[in-house]
Amino acid sequence: MGVKAECVIMEYVKQFEQRYRNDSSIYNQYLNAIQKINLNLISRGGVGNIIKPFLYKWGRMGRVLGQNKFKDWESKLAQQIQLNFGKLQNLAGQRFLGAALGKFKSDIEDCYESFKNVVGPIAAAKVLHLICPNFFPLWDNDIAKAVRDEFRGKGRNRAVQGLSGEDYYEFMQALQGSLKKHQQVISHLSQRYKKSDLKIMDEFLWWATHRPLSLLL
């Protein structure tokens, strides 16, 4: 069973890389750019120059963030980044795979909820990942639902309320367990494509939830 799972992971990531290889340069461009600014002093302009194009060009969040309910989100997000700077700075120094997530539960949920209130749940995870790429994982609605349903199947029957901070924390727990289970193949792919374990896992999950029949058709 493990061999089959590893083959599926490798094939899905391979297909993702072939389809979206040009996206890597955009992703890396803004990942490098955010490291060069002082987040403690980030302004609306800083958000507009780095985070906004990351979300629009790479994250394809333009239609969502263009809604009236997210008006002036750039200024509000800059404020939330400043307010959560201490927590973000601490979490940026953690490595996801080996982190004791329970120790950081409140900080994870606080940062996520702060950003979610400004840009919504999917963009919130993207911004957190941009700031702390080795700790915060990416998700979208399909990935969140798929992982959540697996958790329910393992005895977690709590009703989910709109992708809350607790949902995101539990998603991180599930993802960490999966990374540990498939660490060898994920590390291999990480080295092959020169990407972090978290990014490789996101590529696998995206392809698995959006193009699951690609191995058959």
Q: Is 1 contained in some domain? A: no
Q: In three state form, how does the secondary structure of the chain look?
A: CHHHHHHHHHHHHHHHHHHHCCHHHHHHHHHHHHCCCCHHHCCHHHHHHHHHHHHHHHCCCHHHHCCHHHCCHHHHHHHHHHHCHHHHHHHHCCCCCCCCHHHHHHHHHHHHHHHHHHHCHHHHHHHHHHHCCCCCCCCCHHHHHHHHHHHHHCCCCCCCCCCCHHHHHHHHHHHHHHHHHCHHHHHHHHHHHCCCHHHHHHHHHHHHHHCHHHHCC
The pTM of the full predicted model, rounded to 2 decimals, is 0.92
Residue type, 33: A
Q: What is the pLDDT of residue 70?
A: 97
Q: What is the pLDDT of residue 149?
A: 84
Q: What is the pLDDT of residue 157?
A: 45
Q: Is 110 contained in some domain? A: yes
Rg (CA), the chain: 17
Q: Is 146 contained in some domain? A: yes
Q: Is 4 contained in some domain? A: no
Q: Is 5 contained in some domain? A: no
| Tens of each residue's pLDDT in the chain, 217 residues | 456 899 999 999 999 999 998 888 999 999 999 999 999 999 999 999 999 999 999 999 999 999 999 999 999 999 999 999 999 999 999 999 999 999 999 999 999 999 999 999 999 999 999 999 999 999 999 999 898 888 765 545 444 456 999 999 999 999 999 999 999 999 999 999 999 999 999 999 999 999 988 877 6
How many domains would you assign to the chain? 1
Per the structure, the complete domain to which residue 200 belongs is given by: 15-215
Side-chain half-sphere CA neighbours of 136 within 13 A:
29
Q: What is the pLDDT of residue 155?
A: 46
Q: Is 194 contained in some domain? A: yes
Q: Is 7 contained in some domain? A: no
Q: What is the pLDDT of residue 159?
A: 44
